Amino acid sequence: MIGQLKVIGVNNVIDYNKKLPQEDEHIEYKTSKNAFPKDAWETISAFMNTDGGVLVLGIEEIKGHQFMIAGVHDSQNIKDEFWSSINNKSVLSYNGFKNSDIKTIRTDTTEVIQIQVREAPDSEKPVFLRGDERQAYVRNGATDAKARGESLMTLVRLSRDNLDTKVLPNYGIDDLSENSIQDYKSMLVKRETYRYYTNYPLEKFLRGIGVLSKDYDNNGKIGVTAGGLLFFGLNNSILHAFPNFQLDYFDKSHPEHDRWSRRISSIEEDLNIFSFFRRTEEALLANTPGNFEMDRNGQRIDTFGSMAVALREGLINMLMHADYFGESPLVVNNLTKYYEFQNPGKMKIPSNEFFTTNNSSTRNPIISKLFIQMGIGERAGHGGEKIYESAVTNHFRQPEIRTDLKGTQLTIWKVDYAESFGGKDINKRERAVLKAIVSSRRPGLSHKEIETQTQLSRSRVTTALNSLILKQILVVSGRGPSTRYGLPQTNEQIIAQAQAIPDMLRQLMSTNKNSKSKK
């Protein structure tokens, strides 16, 4: 294999015939001319426990964190050494490698070895060395760090899918909020599926919905589940079992306020997951921008509903999938141009599947069940799809999701891409160029098309484009007359867009068909 290779987990292509990129959370270089380096196992463990990456052997570091190709002397011998070690459990606790993951790459003058390391399945974490779970590593920037304390416990919890099913000793019905339970029950019995709960006494009802359960692991007595306490508990009772429990909503959408105009917080009020959800959902929907469009027949199409659904799904996703044993609070920020949902806990599905998948995986089955019974949780995992569809419907900037061992952050925009940047980020001409590209609904525009739409001179368009590219707000594709200027997209957004195309085409065909039938 000659010259360059695209790396999973890295946004660009490593071209070994050009200047090498810096080491970062996804790239690690080792000199290793003659043998497989022993410290490379720490990097492999770190990549597997974090977000994957690539390990390149035959690269030497020179002054100022610059790297040059030194090459390896016997690539086949080094690869044989790797394979003989990787199959030994006493070296690495998990082997997820395929033959295609380790490659010899020929450069202009020599050879290097590139090893693609994929993130391990959650069920295999932590991936550790020498048969000792304390020898697990995580990736912090461009360094490998031993997983200790909270980072190690986070990896252990990632391997479990039933964190909230544990029955808590010494907790009973008196630790639960009667008002929350009654409000929830009144919602449930309005649904035909759960009408039979109407005449259930309290304890039977709580057992039916998973809040009370037999302690199968210990004495067999009936007790409150962790999920039931988090969902319906009195705040002081929750804090005894989950000392870091904190739920916050901040309305920061009014710049005239120094900090926020409204706060809903479990720190200030006696709130559990259920009461926080109801209060916060109401606050979000009260401030949701109401958009509308006109269809082909001049009829108003209200798009408010799609945004309301997206925000509800964002809130539920945060509350359903949080790691409540973690150290960070759950926070919803309502900002001027976007909404932000933050929770402790790495996602249980890959982030690049969030906006497209119909699969769902949760660490909190009791909490998930309680939401689903309300009729507002998506068992099939379509919440991310609805969030993405809302952005398409409203022509807003596409949603973004980031997840790592520290937590998960979902951003839902309430403006288009051009409006998502403040005056300090771009000037008026740059905004006009962005507006032209966004409004075209196409993958990109040519220089001439941008000139036509903005009515700016060629030189001014060139200046604006160069500035936007330098700021990484725009990307360039093609060459010469085929050059196009478009919007950068994350892997998650690209996959979501590709997935959405068939549905968008079907909707377009249906709209055209209906229009013709009315003529």
Q: What is the pLDDT of residues 244-280, one digit of tens each?
A: 999 999 999 987 777 899 999 999 999 999 999 999 9
* pLDDT tens-digit readout, 280-338: 999 998 877 655 444 444 444 455 688 898 999 999 999 999 999 999 999 999 999 99
Token pair for 281: 């959902």
| Sequence-separated (6 or more) residues with CB below 8 Å from residue 136 | 45, 49, 126, 127, 128, 129, 146, 147, 152, 155
What are the domain boundaries of the chain? 4-157, 167-241, 247-413, 421-486
- Note the CATH architecture for domain 247-413: 2-Layer Sandwich (3.30)
Q: Given this chain, do its domains 247-413 and 421-486 carry the same CATH topology?
A: no
**Alpha carbon 341 to chain centroid, angstroms:** 10
pLDDT band at 500 (very low <50, low <70, confident <90, very high): low
**pLDDT for position 49:** 93
Higher pLDDT, 354 or 185: 185
Q: Tell me the CATH number of domain 421-486, given options 1.10.10.10, 2.40.110.10, 2.60.120.260, 3.40.50.970.
A: 1.10.10.10
**H/E segment holding residue 260:** none
pLDDT of residue 144 exceeding 50, the answer is yes
8 A C-beta contact, residue 167 and residue 224: yes
pLDDT band at 135 (very low <50, low <70, confident <90, very high): very high
* Identity of the amino acid at 25: E
Residues 419, 94: Cα–Cα separation, whole Å? 46
Q: Which fold has domain 4-157?
A: 3.30.950
Residues 1, 284: Cα–Cα separation, whole Å? 53
- Among candidate residues 468, 404, 397, 492, the one with its CA nearest the CA of residue 438: 397
Cα distances (angstroms) measured from residue 46 to each of 36, 92, 121, 150, 164:
17, 11, 13, 15, 27
8 A C-beta contact, residue 281 and residue 312: yes
pLDDT band at 358 (very low <50, low <70, confident <90, very high): low
DSSP state of 396: P
Residues 391, 413: Cα–Cα separation, whole Å? 8
